Amino acid sequence: MKKIILASSSPRRRELLQTAGLEFEIDVKEVDESIPEGTLPAEAAKITAAKKAAAVAGTHKNDIVIGADTIVVAGGKILGKPKDEADAEAMLKMLSGIEHEVITGVCILCGENSQSFAQISKVKFYDLTDDEIKSYVATREPMDKAGAYGIQGRGCTLVERIEGDYFNIVGLPVAEVYRRINKLK
């Protein structure tokens, strides 16, 4: 029986796979997440997901390895995790009142079989006041999240509407991943 290996330390991805009823192990290796300049956002997310999966697949040759990377894109600019509180505030000001994309790239490796895809969801924020932004950043919730917010936490109060897969915004398009994994078992 093939094991499922999640090549991510994200508690949100772990929770989503558990919710889907999948049994899995976690194995994470450090990878260089730099992307060539000019790479389109969806490709950038897929490349990083593939790096994460490949780094772990070497020690799990007959298992199903899942790598994922979530990015936020606003005005053509990729927003990763904020460097500090000032960076988080700047990101949230940029997202205030606008629609942006949340893209999760996924790479599933199993032996010679490799599948990569990117899921795109759209999120529209309310117009945010400086006080709302500072108050949210003070919770520290934004500090480990792409785009400086977590829709599944207090960040839900910033969101006017979404279009697409909610779980993709959280960090993993779990229904699509579940279906692809079941084809590999």
Of 27, 32, 63, 69, which one is the catalytic site residue? 69
Residue 81 near residue 143 (C-beta atoms within 8 A): yes
Query: Cβ contacts of residue 52 below 8 Å, gap of 6+?
Result: 7, 8, 28, 29, 31, 67, 68, 69, 107
Residue 152 near residue 170 (C-beta atoms within 8 A): yes
Q: How far apart are CA 46 and CA 163, in angstroms?
A: 21
In degrees rounded to 5, what are phi and psi of residue 68? Answer: -145, 150
Between CA 35 and CA 139, with CA 70 as vertex, the angle to 5 degrees is 120
Helix (H, G, I), strand (E, B) or coil at 119: strand
- 131: annotated active-site residue: no
Kindly list the catalytic residues. Answer: 69
